[in-house]
Amino acid sequence: MFSQENFENDPERQVEEDEESEESYTEEEYLKEDQPEEVNPDRLEESNPEAGGIDYDPFTDDEAGPSPSPQREQERSKAKRRKCEKLFSLECSFCQRLYRSQLRPKENFSAQISGDSVQEVVANMWESGKSLIKREVRFENGVPKWASGEIPGEESAEKFLIVYDVTAHKSYATTNLTSKKLQKWRDQIVKVFVYAYSKEVETKGQYGDVLKYLINPKNPDRAGANSMREEAALAKELREKNPHLEGHSSSWLLWATTIHAAPAHEQEALKEAQHPPINISKYFRWVGVSEAARLDSVHRGMVVANTVNSRWSKQIREIKEDLHTAFNIIQGAIRKVETMEAESNASIDILSAMESAVQPEESELSQQ
């Protein structure tokens, strides 16, 4: 926060002076530091004493000179805020950290963060970076456990966010941010480290414990997924917890697989849900809770079944008619074949009779 040279001279005095200067640092002074001075914003002629002009600054608060009009003051204020309407503005590069000692976290995205107060800037940082947060983890006697709240709120920003000054190579908690620091970082790039499981997870070993006890399956199969025994046990548990639903065994197994495939911190809530996820709800149907509802459901089912059966009956009748037509055609063809066969037999008999009637015989001439 302070330079090394000032600390070496008189640290206590420097701290007091910085605190006093920070309290007297008004919004207008912040803007004046960031914006370049404007030369003759209203295009007035500059005074020249040698040329006989008026030798005073019309925009000073000197009692001897005339005070500027409120309209000009408003125009000057708007000109000073032409870059950003907010008092503080900085470019934040959000990086997700799985544990606190992770050296090179990957940059996930960048966002422009602005605000008129430190609290507003922190709130905007939280809104931008909360998508990288999983769930808070706490260690009790070295064993990781989920915190009571599944979704952390803005009040937990200190547990998940760290602001890193790239230029000064210093890290700041959100509670240590001041107006002076934010004004110094105006229009500069700073890194915001977002801890997925809170700053309680400090080392890679602790992160391994989080994976072992909270995230990874307890009894994985060869592929690293949950074993079929666990899938079947969860499917049975879901069937017993939801008697108002009916479905095939494969439907309950699909529900159990969907729960195990979800993030670890969401699995408990999915197990307690009264209905399956929307993408697999088509594989289940609701069971009527009253006798009238059940009878109505049966009646509707019978109507649907009768409609389907009628459609198939119509198709069967059409096929039967086609078969009768084909049978008649075949019978006619058979009769024609039988007639042709009878004519063929008659022709054979005639030819045989003619053959025996005109048999060749030897004459006296042929014997000589």
| For range 239-264, the mean pLDDT | 84
pLDDT digits (tens, 9 = 90+) for 309-357: 888 888 888 899 999 999 999 999 999 999 999 999 999 988 888 888 7
Share of the chain above pLDDT 70, in %: 70
Contact present, 243 and 287 (Cβ < 8 Å): yes
Which pLDDT belongs to residue 277? Answer: 87
Contact present, 194 and 96 (Cβ < 8 Å): yes
> Is the model's pLDDT at 181 over the cut of 70?
yes
Which pLDDT belongs to residue 43? Answer: 40
Q: Answer yes or no: pTM beyond 0.85.
A: no
What is the residue whose two structure tokens read 């000064």? 168
Identify the weakest region by mean pLDDT among 58-72, 98-112, 138-152, 202-216: 58-72
Structural domains present in the chain: 83-204 (3.10.20), 217-286 (no CATH)
Phi, psi for 52 (deg, rounded to 5): 90, 15
pLDDT digits (tens, 9 = 90+) for 283-295: 888 776 667 777 8
Q: Average model confidence (pLDDT) for the chain?
A: 76
Which pLDDT belongs to residue 46? Answer: 41
> Is the model's pLDDT at 3 over the cut of 90?
no
* Cα separation, 246 vs 142, whole angstroms: 43
Which pLDDT belongs to residue 213? Answer: 80
